[in-house]
Amino acid sequence: MAPNVSGSAIASNRRAECRGLGAPNPTRYNSPMSDLIVQREEHGNRGSFFLAGNDPPLAKMTFSRTTPTQVIIDHTEVSDALRGQGAGRKLLEAAVAWARETKTKIVPTCPYAKAQFDKDPSIRDVLAA
């Protein structure tokens, strides 16, 4: 079970950890659902969206780049501490926002991501044809 820590302490810790990720400027996406920040990192053809705060991250959605304008979302994992609180959806929303900003198309092979795209027509604009 996760320790009881105030939201501002969590946000502060996440900002501090972001500086130590090794990426020059990880992209951050804020969500009104909570004070957790989704970050994106990409190294070579592999990348992820994740909720930082622990090692390993509390939640993570991984992708593989197949072309300069297409990625495959291949895995979503959420810690037991965040299960059922919308963490997976928050990661997907960040991926969709990023895809729209960068004109990147998504192929969801992860069962969670695929199910979300099947359920929600409002995010299908980023699906690869």
pLDDT tens digit sequence for 60-84: 999 999 999 999 999 999 999 889 9
88 burial type by CB count under 10 A (0-12 exposed, 13-18 middle, 19+ buried): buried
Tell me, yes or no, whether 21 lies in a domain: yes
Which of the two residues, 31 and 19, has the higher pLDDT score?
Answer: 31
Residue 2 resides in a domain: no
Number of domains in the chain: 1
Of the candidate ranges 8-22, 50-64, 101-115, the one whose mean pLDDT is the lowest: 8-22
On whether residue 30 sits in a domain, the answer given is yes
Quote the CA–CA distance of 17 and 92 in Å, as a whole number: 22
Domain with 120 in it:
7-126
Could you tell me if 93 and 99 are in contact, meaning their C-beta atoms sit under 8 angstroms apart? no
Residue 59 maps to a domain: yes
Give the type of residue at 121: P
Spatial separation of the C-alpha atoms in residues 118 and 115, rounded to whole Å:
5
Do the domain assignments include residue 111? yes
Of 27 and 113, the structure prediction assigns the larger pLDDT to 113
